[in-house]
Amino acid sequence: MSDLDLLTRAAEAAGEIALRFSGPEARRWDKPDGQGPVTEADLAVNALLEEMLPAARPDYGWLSEETEDSADRLTRDSVFIIDPIDGTRAFAEGSRTWAHSLAVARGGRITAAVIYLPQRERMYSAALGQGAALNGIAIETSALTDLAQADVLTARPNLAPEHWKGRQPPGFNRSYRPSLAYRMAKVADGRAGAMLTLRRSWEWDIAAGDLILREAGGRASDRFGSDLRFNNPVPLLDGVVAGPKALHKELIAALDPNGPGIGG
């Protein structure tokens, strides 16, 4: 079984577990240091995946939002990078816009990835060099080349003047989705033009979307335009800018590299 087949089966099993819970009624806790909420559904999905995936690939490392990190993963060439439920706040509020985000990184690059939204019946998938798909049908990023005509998925704080050259963000239509993984998937299938976050971002939020978007013909980088690398000792990335290559280039050119970022 390929890594992609394994991730797809695991995502389907994760969806079955998550859908047993009602988000607004699920028990919920706040993580320390302002790291956001976690629900009993997150923990149940994580338990399933942590049993299923390493059993199939015992030589792979493990990095998950809901598992205490271990330096052991840094000794492994391949590692699972998992967000059991990306968009936990949305899940807890009863929204359908949350996802399971599963990826394999090899040598710092993502080689297989799945983003699954069980309540929307959307399974995004990609393997390195094999293209990207939504429910088995090939997808590609938007053909737009003019940022002014694009719908960019981003939170309002990213438009603050201190982040942009000339203290003025470029013109585009702004919209938002709570799940970073879903934002990247929407760009990959061309339903959104681009996405960006200037906040330091956990690898598990980004890993699967990075490959799916690139295999759909797009470009993903940190906020400085550098390629994304994974399985870092501290699994944080310097923001994410993603879109078709032309729109990505425009956004990177407009961002002030000396800007403060968001949240450190």
User: 191-246, pLDDT tens digit by residue?
Assistant: 999 999 999 999 999 999 999 999 999 999 999 999 999 999 999 999 999 999 99
| The model's pTM | 0.94
CA gap 187, 191 in Å, rounded: 6
Given a contact cutoff of 8 angstroms between Cβ atoms, the answer to whether 70 and 85 are in contact is: no
Given a contact cutoff of 8 angstroms between Cβ atoms, the answer to whether 153 and 187 are in contact is: yes
Q: What is the mean pLDDT of the chain?
A: 92
DSSP 195: E
- Is pLDDT above 70 for 37? yes
Confidence of residue 131 (pLDDT cuts 50, 70, 90): very high
- Is pLDDT above 90 for 54? yes
